[in-house]
Amino acid sequence: MAGRNFLFVPGPTNVPDRVLRAMVVSQEDHRSPKFGALGLACIEGLKPVFKTTTGTPILFPASGTACWEAALTNCLNPGDKVLIARFGQFSHLWADMAARLGYEVEIIETEWGEGAPLERYHAALEADTGHRIKAVLATQNETATGVTSDIGALRKVMDAARHPALLFVDAVSALASIDFRMDEWGVDVCVSGSQKGLMLPAGLGVTCVSQKALEAAKTSKSPRCYFDYGDMVRANATGYFPYTPSIPMLYGLREALAILAEEGIENVFARHAYLGGAVRAAVLDGWKLKLCAKQPQWYSDTVSAIVVPEGFDAAKVIARAYSRYNVSLGAGLSKVAGKVFRIGHLGDNNEVMVLASVAAAEMAMIDVGIPVTPGSGVAAAGHFLRVNTPEAR
């Protein structure tokens, strides 16, 4: 098929040409005298993205899922209790991992399409008078449903309950796209990955750890080796790693961080809000469809999960977009499989790219019989983009 495949899934995202060029490097000695400068540039360059001066970024040659496991096994003891709200596939998987690793998991069951239920978190923490809950787990941006939760408000809930639990946050599809404030929100472990807002291929687990979490890791009895924070922190102090890192990925990360710094992180957030608003205009105003996110307070600026009308299969929209228009849209997962398709609008993305995603989704829906008016979504998104500007807050 002529032309290129357009990638509008919520990860992996488009990799900028600058980053691709930066990754085309010969292999080198990762223990050479000069290699540490590359490692330090990546670690220090991540701090403004996490908005931290006291946290410690750590890079694992893995994925965000590995950073979930690292957070649990480094900071908790076998049998410790964790509290998590389950409102999408990725919060479900993190809860499942915790249980499989032998931790006691208290789950706050929440309707898919909603975000972190602050009142129920508060009630659970207040009821835990013996402080058996050692960590609160929260997904900032639930990729499966296109829902963003208020992590700053969750920290206030924990403080109001005067609960000493650690706060672990999954920011995989939020970091470098949606505002995240490690220090201000008192986050102890932030979990992310390279393939979304950081505009890299998959392959790096990107995490940041507070001093409180590092102290907990010193006394944790949970088994771990490859993902041991202590080993990483000691080696990273001079820019090196305890084992062989992915050298091209580090060069790519350094370039991606330079791109983010040039745009300005607040401008990055504003651009994502602007582009997300255009997609929502297409869905709500143009196509007259619904989002999986049930209220505007939950709308995600990185991914929109679009609910197809009753009687239609969203998987057919995705298949048609791919086979006929060479466009990749995100699938519905688990409870929402076949009910939604997803448009990712994060990372290296601009107005015309977003309009292309809307146009392709619109044509694919019409092709499979979904009654949307031709041109309606594109017109609504285009109008939004013309009358609004991506202004930093």
User: For 251-274, what is the mean pLDDT?
Assistant: 98
Band (pLDDT 50/70/90 cuts) for residue 4 is confident
pLDDT score at 305: 98
Spatial CA neighbour of 117 closest among 92, 154, 90 = 154
Residue 4, in any domain of the structure: no
pLDDT for 158-195, tens place per residue? 999 999 999 999 999 999 999 999 999 999 999 999 99
362, 380: one domain: yes
pLDDT score at 3: 85
What secondary structure does DSSP assign to 151-176, as a single string? HHHHHHHHHHTT---EEEEE-TTTTT
Number of domains in the chain: 2
Band (pLDDT 50/70/90 cuts) for residue 2 is confident
Band (pLDDT 50/70/90 cuts) for residue 69 is very high
252, 321: one domain: no
219, 344: one domain: no
Residue 314, amino acid: A
User: For 302-329, what is the mean pLDDT?
Assistant: 98
Residues in the chain: 393
33, 168: one domain: yes
Rounded Cα distance between 218 and 292, Å, is 42
Residue 100, in any domain of the structure: yes
Residue 166, in any domain of the structure: yes
User: For 63-87, what is the mean pLDDT?
Assistant: 98
Q: What is the CATH number of the domain that holds 301?
A: 3.90.1150.10
280, 323: one domain: yes
Rounded Cα distance between 222 and 101, Å, is 9
In the predicted structure, residue 393 carries a pLDDT above the cut 60: no
282, 156: one domain: no
pLDDT for 336-383, tens place per residue? 999 999 999 999 999 999 999 999 999 999 999 999 999 999 999 999
Domain boundary among 198, 228, 262: 262
37, 157: one domain: yes
**Dihedral angle sign, alpha carbons of residues 292, 364, 348, 1:** positive
295, 241: one domain: no
Q: What is the CATH number of the domain that holds 84?
A: 3.40.640.10
342, 223: one domain: no
Residue 297, in any domain of the structure: yes
Residue 2, in any domain of the structure: no
pLDDT for 122-165, tens place per residue? 999 999 999 999 999 999 999 999 999 999 999 999 999 999 99
254, 271: one domain: no
Structural domain including 70 reads 17-262
54, 129: one domain: yes
Band (pLDDT 50/70/90 cuts) for residue 80 is very high
306, 176: one domain: no
